[in-house]
Amino acid sequence: MKKARGVFAPDPAPGEVIISCENAFHRGQLTQPEKLRHLHTLATEYFGPGVALRVEEGAQESDRLSPQDLRDYIDGRPEVRQAVTTFDAEIIERKPR
pTM: 0.55
Q: How large a percentage of the chain has pLDDT more than 90?
A: 54
Q: Which residues of 21-53 are buried (b: 16+ CB within 10 A; e: fewer)?
A: beeeebbeebeeeeeeeebeeebbeebeeebeb
Q: How far is CA 1 from CA 36, 84, 85, in A?
A: 12, 30, 33
Which tens digits make up the pLDDT trace of 16-65? 999 998 888 889 999 999 999 999 999 999 999 999 999 998 754 555 77
Instruction: Please check whether residue 9 is in contact with residue 20, taking contact to mean a CB–CB distance below 8 angstroms.
Output: no
